[in-house]
Amino acid sequence: MLGGGAYARDVYQYKKDAGFRVITVGEKEDPRTASFSDKHYFSSRTDIDELSKIVDIEKIDGIFVGSSEEYASVAITLSERTNAHFYATRKQWDILQNKARFKQCARESGFPVIPEFTISNPQDIREIESLSYPVMIKPTDSSGAKGVNACYKADDFQHFYEEALKWSHKKEVIVEKLITDAVDFCVSYTIQNSEATLSYAYTKFKVTSPDHFVSIPMFHMFPSRYIDEYCEKVDKSAKQFIKKLGIENGGLILQGFYKDGEFAFYEAGYRLGGGQVYILTDYQNNANLLRYIINQVLVGKMADYRVAERENARFHSPCCNYYMPLKAGVINKICGLDQVKQMKGVLNVTQMRGEGDRIVDTNALDRVVFRIHAVAPTNEELAELLENISKTIRVYSENDEEMQMEPLTYNHCLEIINKM
């Protein structure tokens, strides 16, 4: 297990159910996995030679990395060198972890993607001024919104370009047309024995500062109201794209926009999503990608049944992934968390930041303190639950000020849910 601490609770539960051993690796032991790890090695998670020795000594069958793109690349190299299994190949990963290569492969499959600009010299003022603003500047190979910024004028281009370079391992940047006044839309497919099935579709709501400097996801709402239109217009080409990639087993996330009756996508993720959506699909359809991935790397198959018979992206109950972003500052005290965990309809609370952590003014998900999975029978009841969560949790700064970027109200939540 290389990383994946955010999934610790669910890995532990499945370990109890299925009976496999867990060996963790890291220069420091993650307290979230320490309670159930059978053995921990205090080694670097990127030292292939050391990891290969551990695989041999412990007779490791499979490698789990959670949602980490960095460790997924390590896992692929490790699986190529040893007998330990991983679900992705190097060829697939090199295409999908690079936004530019993903878009080229998608175009060849007829899958719609966002137009981009070719930048021959980012230092050339005339070239930069000739762009049609606004644009989106992002690293080709980062995740978690790190280094991703909207640029509204040529004067800011160089600053955001350098920011994107900073977060790119390969020092590659992509500049896209900024899609404004559009709906953030995301789908995911579960692939079993080369059969791709739509697992979920959600619409994303962001909280944005007046100057557009900060734009952070707050809600992922399921099921998206645009799911039927997506299936009619795009589902076929998405499956063609998956076939072209040669994906046999796993989960593929596709993120994009919907505007004026058209869909356009900008990124793919061949991994467990950081949003732990398997918690919602397990509740709605008894389909759990986390368990499927573990099965695949351990025994070579995702399940003893046909996953497509369970997956149904048209969930029977409205639900959401609630991200709680914070204002800049240092977290001094968190209150009300235990009460929220006991609320009816709260399926899970993942704590991402803690007391003593400093929150900085960026677009990165690092400023999110909790990820909360919530479900209710109706839109109205879901809005009420979200308001209660926001009112119950209190996050205070060193100056004893409330740090929630946008406290929730019933009317605002219901408005968002109904239009998502």
Please write the tens of the pLDDT for every residue from 145-204: 788 899 999 999 999 999 999 999 889 999 999 988 899 999 999 999 999 999 999 999
Residues 193, 296, single domain; the answer is yes
Residues 306 and 322 occupy one common structural domain:
no
pLDDT of residue 57: 97
Do residues 16 and 138 both lie within one domain?
no
Write down the pLDDT at residue 187: 98
Q: Are residues 271 and 191 in the same domain?
A: yes
Residue ending a domain, among 86, 103, 134, is 86
In this structure, are 172 and 38 located in the same domain?
no
391 and 262 in a common domain:
no
Burial of 12 from C-beta contacts in 10 A (0-12 / 13-18 / 19+): middle
Indicate the average pLDDT of the chain: 93
119 and 98, same structural domain?
A: no
CATH of the domain at 171: 3.30.1490.20
Q: Tell me the mean pLDDT in the region 244-250.
A: 95
pLDDT digits (tens, 9 = 90+) for 338-361: 999 999 999 999 999 999 999 988
Residue 296, domain CATH: 3.30.470.20
- Copy the structure tokens of residue 188: 């995911």
> Does residue 395 come out as left (phi exceeding 0), alpha (psi in the -120 to 50 range) or beta?
beta
Give the residue numbers spanning the domain of 248.
90-112+180-316
Domain count within the chain: 4
Structure tokens, 65: 């990395």
Q: What is the pLDDT of residue 144?
A: 63
The model's pLDDT over 88-142, given as tens digits with 9 standing for 90+, comes to: 999 999 898 888 889 999 999 999 999 999 898 988 999 999 999 999 999 988 7
Residue type, position 264, single letter: A
Helix (H) or strand (E) holding 76: helix 69-81
Q: Which residues contact 18 (CB under 8 A, 6 or more apart)?
A: 294
Q: How confident is the model at residue 4 (pLDDT cuts 50, 70, 90)?
A: confident
Q: Is the pLDDT of residue 212 over 60?
A: no
The answer to whether residues 49 and 108 belong to one domain is no
CB within 8 A of 110, min separation 6: which ones? 237, 240, 241
d(CA 383, CA 408): 9
In DSSP notation, 138-192 reads EETT--TTTT-EEE-SGGGHHHHHHHHHHH-TT--EEEEE---S-EEEEEEEEEE
Of 143, 162, 177, the last residue of a domain is: 177
Q: Are residues 45 and 153 in the same domain?
A: no
Distance of alpha carbon 326 from alpha carbon 311, whole angstroms:
34
Taking a C-beta distance cutoff of 8 angstroms, is the pair 177, 136 a contact?
yes
Chain CA centroid to CA 392, Å: 26
Q: Are residues 152 and 53 in the same domain?
A: no
DSSP assignment string, 88-100: --HHHHHHHTSHH
Last residue of a domain, one of 177, 204, 226: 177
Residues 285 and 269 in one domain: yes
Tokens matching residue 206: 């962001």
pLDDT of residue 112: 97
CATH number for the domain spanning 75: value is 3.40.50.20
- Same structural domain, 266 and 300: yes
Residue 211 has pLDDT above 60, yes or no: no
Q: What is the structure's pLDDT at 209?
A: 61
The predicted-structure confidence for 11-62, as pLDDT tens digits, reads as follows 999 999 999 999 999 999 999 999 999 999 999 999 999 999 999 999 999 9
pLDDT at 251 over 60: yes
Residue 400: pLDDT band with limits 50, 70, 90: very high
